[in-house]
């Protein structure tokens, strides 16, 4: 029982950066923009988020507040990702360049920028970028009252996570409600399914695409920050995010473009990522375990295309630029 609890706990923890990355990308893809630059945006978010908290502490010194540090980190990461997504949006929406290629260019640019910022902070601050334990606890421990956390079984299962787990689930649920239940969400989906139809219905296609892509990019980037601040232990290392962003792109498919399913998907992927530590089977080496999330995604991809059912497809205009005068 205890081992299982621990597995679930760690799966949720490892899945949370993915959840942010995925939910942001779902919003982007729902408007028909396939932004493959998630990895790049998450890198920028990770570096800038860490940088925000680091310089805030340097500035505020002893009386730095944990809450404010978290807020600043979120804001910095969001702005970093939003900036990347803005470049992407301008080039693909306004200038109508190929989305795949632009997304890859953003991935190259973003990983470079993230690494660069991380390295730069390291060299200018004397070789080591880390925040104090006092602030770390704001990022890594639960914000909920101890009474809740100490409930047996339920405590560790529900109440002992860091603040980002709850934030991520909240964002996913809100986005699910927005996309499914609100008029604006319907418009947004219409833009992704058939921009010309949406356009003739009077929906401002360009505005929806821009806003969703930038907001989505920002949310994805928060995932990068969460990875650095919780899993990587608030330190910038050369490994960076280790493919977390690409996994988020996979998870978008796995959850069939539904934010609420992304919650369960991210926990599952988180479990698959750490399964090799918890459940050692003979004859199955660690590295083979680690490719499980990708194999699972491929299988889902194949089955959805074979079944070809209407509500499980990618947005119809995914990856295509919209040009009103085109027929």
Nearer to another protein by Cβ, of 181 and 327: the residue is: 327
Quote the CA–CA distance of 203 and 158 in Å, as a whole number. Answer: 41
Distances (CA, A) of 93 to 120, 135, 315, 323: 32, 40, 16, 9
Q: Who's near 229: CB < 8 A, 6+ residues apart? A: 49, 50, 53, 73, 139, 140, 164
Please select the residue that binds another protein; options are 1, 3, 147, 306, rule is CB under 8 A: 306
CB of 297 to another protein, least distance (A): 5
Please select the residue that binds another protein; options are 116, 148, 197, 280, rule is CB under 8 A: 116
Nearer to another protein by Cβ, of 67 and 303: the residue is: 303
Footprint (CB under 8 A) of another protein, residues 19-58: 34, 36
Footprint (CB under 8 A) of another protein, residues 144-183: none
Smallest Cα–Cα separation from 16: which of 247, 218, 235, 258?
Answer: 247
For the chain, counts of helices (H) and of strands (E): 15, 0
- Burial of 216-229, coded b for 16+ CB within 10 Å and e otherwise, reads bbbbbbbbbbbbbb
Binding residues with another protein: total (CB under 8 A): 54
Please select the residue that binds another protein; options are 65, 115, 132, 149, rule is CB under 8 A: 115
- Alpha carbon 301 to its chain's center: 20
Footprint (CB under 8 A) of another protein, residues 48-107: 87, 90-91, 94-98, 100-102, 104-107
CB of 96 to another protein, least distance (A): 6
Please select the residue that binds another protein; options are 5, 243, 278, 279, rule is CB under 8 A: 243
Nearer to another protein by Cβ, of 71 and 104: the residue is: 104
When asked if residue 280 is in the footprint of another protein (CB under 8 A), the reply is no
Residue 305 buriedness (CB in 10 A; 0-12 / 13-18 / 19+):
exposed
Quote the CA–CA distance of 311 and 294 in Å, as a whole number. Answer: 23
* Token pair belonging to 221: 């980037």
Fill in the DSSP letter of residue 229: I
Residues lying near another protein in the complex (CB under 8 A): 34, 36, 87, 90-91, 94-98, 100-102, 104-113, 115-116, 119-120, 123, 243, 246-247, 249-250, 253, 285-288, 290-291, 294-295, 297-298, 301-302, 305-306, 308, 314, 319, 323, 325-326
């Amino acid at each position: 029982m205890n081992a299982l609890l621990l597995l679930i706990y760690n799966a949720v923890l490892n899945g949370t950066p993915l959840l942010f990355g995925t939910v942001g990308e779902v919003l982007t893809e729902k408007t028909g923009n396939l932004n493959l630059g998630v990895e790049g945006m998450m890198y920028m978010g990770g570096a800038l988020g860490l940088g925000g908290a680091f310089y805030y502490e340097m500035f505020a010194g002893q009386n730095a507040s944990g809450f404010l540090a978290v807020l600043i980190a979120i804001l910095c990461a969001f702005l970093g990702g939003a900036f990347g997504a803005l470049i992407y949006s301008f080039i693909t929406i306004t200038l109508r360049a190929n989305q795949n290629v632009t997304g890859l260019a953003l991935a190259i640019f973003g990983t470079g920028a993230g690494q660069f910022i991380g390295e730069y902070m390291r060299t200018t601050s004397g070789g080591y970028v880390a925040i104090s334990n006092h602030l770390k606890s704001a990022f890594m421990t639960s914000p909920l009252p101890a009474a809740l956390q100490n409930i047996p079984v339920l405590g560790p299962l529900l109440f002992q996570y860091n603040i980002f787990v709850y934030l991520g689930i909240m964002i996913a649920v809100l986005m699910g409600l927005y996309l499914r239940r609100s008029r604006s969400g319907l418009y947004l989906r219409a833009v992704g399914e058939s921009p010309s139809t949406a356009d003739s219905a009077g929906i401002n296609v360009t505005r929806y695409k821009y806003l969703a892509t930038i907001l989505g990019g920002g949310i994805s980037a928060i995932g990068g920050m969460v990875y650095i601040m919780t899993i990587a232990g608030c330190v910038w290392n050369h490994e960076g995010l280790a493919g977390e962003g690409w996994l988020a792109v996979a998870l978008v498919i796995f959850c069939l473009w539904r934010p609420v399913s992304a919650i369960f998907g991210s926990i599952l992927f988180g479990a698959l990522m750490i399964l090799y530590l918890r459940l050692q089977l003979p004859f199955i080496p660690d590295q083979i375990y680690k490719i499980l999330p990708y194999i699972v995604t491929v299988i889902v991809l194949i089955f959805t295309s074979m079944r070809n059912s209407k509500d499980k497809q990618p947005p119809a205009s995914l990856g295509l630029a919209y040009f009103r005068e085109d027929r």
